Structure 1
């Protein structure tokens, strides 16, 4: 009887162990590793490309899942601004324009990235820091990895040029134009206006070596260098030409539609500035008969217009910086998104150009002729241009420049000196606010 009781007790004990083990396993205990989940922001048009990249990463990393959050980049940034990095609606990995870097860093949203190591693994850079990569660094920390380069190029309406007997293969000098409709430049908008000021090395706002802010436009007109004075004069005369001919080019509401209308076939527009994002609409306006050139196809005082080495980066949310597995997965997703092997697919899906893929390599890829011409022009323009200023104070320049240029419409300055006084007054006020 005693033996039976002992056997019964042993069996009951063993059954308890088995039951307890089963409960632990079913509850996701240490015997089963939790799935590593990464959330990634993607715009609607990017989804198919990002899905393919995510699939490659997941196949190489079992027990992982990459969830795409379909949301526009700027809408996503608005969400970050309204909350913080810990908000679960904010992705672990997301795209940012370079000019948002400093503000996001200040709010501790961005994780540090070993970008030099990533760049070496991907290949294609000869001097990583001289391009977008270096522009995505604050002090000694890289806070985003280059997603794509961005700058302005020029488009020519071939039909309109030929109608007027214009040799469009040669650069267009702004100061030589006698017809307000030929060269269409919305210079009141600083995004385009800097193409003119950069050509003469005019600093709308910059920092000295000791980080003190300064602007060339606070100098007296006569104290500017000859090149800078001439550039301001040509900008003023370009405005005056449009003012006298009563075009709406310098109207911030009507100007954009005016450019599109005049650049359409049968009208007078011959050349305009734009970006890859404008290609589809320009093709429609010209019935496909247009030519693409780098930004230096327009000159000011004999010097090429210059935009910026602008672009976008991929940023990792600071909340996952200490989660080694999730952070490593984010790095792998970055590598797949910007993998040079898929440069053609990346451009077709997003219209974005990789910094580490040369024009001659793009030329050999499975892309349409127009796509290759756009890419070639962007890369050439990007190479010519200076780095984009990213410090947050530069954000004040947008309205300062716009308001000053548009003030000419009401003041109607009769000389470049009078026009410059309006510019100087606006920039003096801006600088005073910085020093308060």
Structure 2
């Protein structure tokens, strides 16, 4: 008798999981409480996979042998609780897909920097001619690729939400960039719950595997001391020089990994700032572990183009540089963004606060920020915290108004930085929408200036 698999959530990962489950002979049903994108409806129809939208038929879901759920569905919702009470396994798409591939898995997580590090790692491996796929929290569904393609390596960006529902997921190389308070609304406002989720990435690693981690993170160091981790540890640092690992010294990225030695002048690379030094060193260490030559690593680093909305240069207008860092949805990201510039900054921040602690950036704001524009429906917390710390604060709910005010405050040599520290859902569809609207608003200034 066919095993019944129910997929909860019909986005990219859910549709991909449905395709893989069908290809493996499962009796598949997909259920989404929202409305499916037409693109995915067409795929499910073509593959003859039954689905429902706008509801979950609870009785049908509770008859399943296995449930694969979207990362966006918390474990606390009533349906998931009911499934667990019945003893029905609930897993993530990355867990499911990993059961059906023999490819080496490189899994990258962290509160910040994981997209840049994932894209850069993928670029270094692909540029070196390796047969490599890109998936996880980015690009095409991991399960979909496992169903239809044959790769030797997968580079996966992995979120805490995806790690919450793994059992046997086993990356041969795990990268842990940092852990700072984020998504605390999902974790009962308990930072330790979030830390535990991130550390799931190493739970199935063996002595044959590798863990690359940021040595300077006090949170990671404290957590490592609590665990017996079997994998071989490789350290990345801005402050120390680990014997095996990567570090920044006199402007050079130096990586001594897998009996190889690599050096690169950081200023020659297209990505800037201390956080990107950490990201680059992590990617370099992965590349060395899988045998990429120093020449190919250097070539790949120089030809890399980062994803948009991450310290993205938009325009320079009358000597003022406009930077789109809309992906900075937590305070730690803003800390790194502010640390990336020496010139005076007009900071545009705000949105949906996820339990932010602004003390982390207080000194940087005091020393570098000449004006704060709060772009948000709920400005009170930011306004209250930074009143008296930054010389001027302006409140708005309109992105063009925010950019106009930043231009008014700025002089040649200044930086106007959109780095919100908050989620985007109060005024925008998502961080991409926020970033695109910011770029449009900046380009409107160039039209008026011409």
TM-score band by shorter chain is: under 0.3
- Structure with larger RCO (C-alpha < 8 A, sep 6+): 1
The structure with more strand, counted as a fraction of residues:
2
- TM-score normalised over the length of structure 1: 0.25
- When Rg is computed on C-alpha atoms for both structures, the one with the higher figure is 1
- TM-score normalised over the length of structure 2: 0.24
The structure with more helix, counted as a fraction of residues:
1
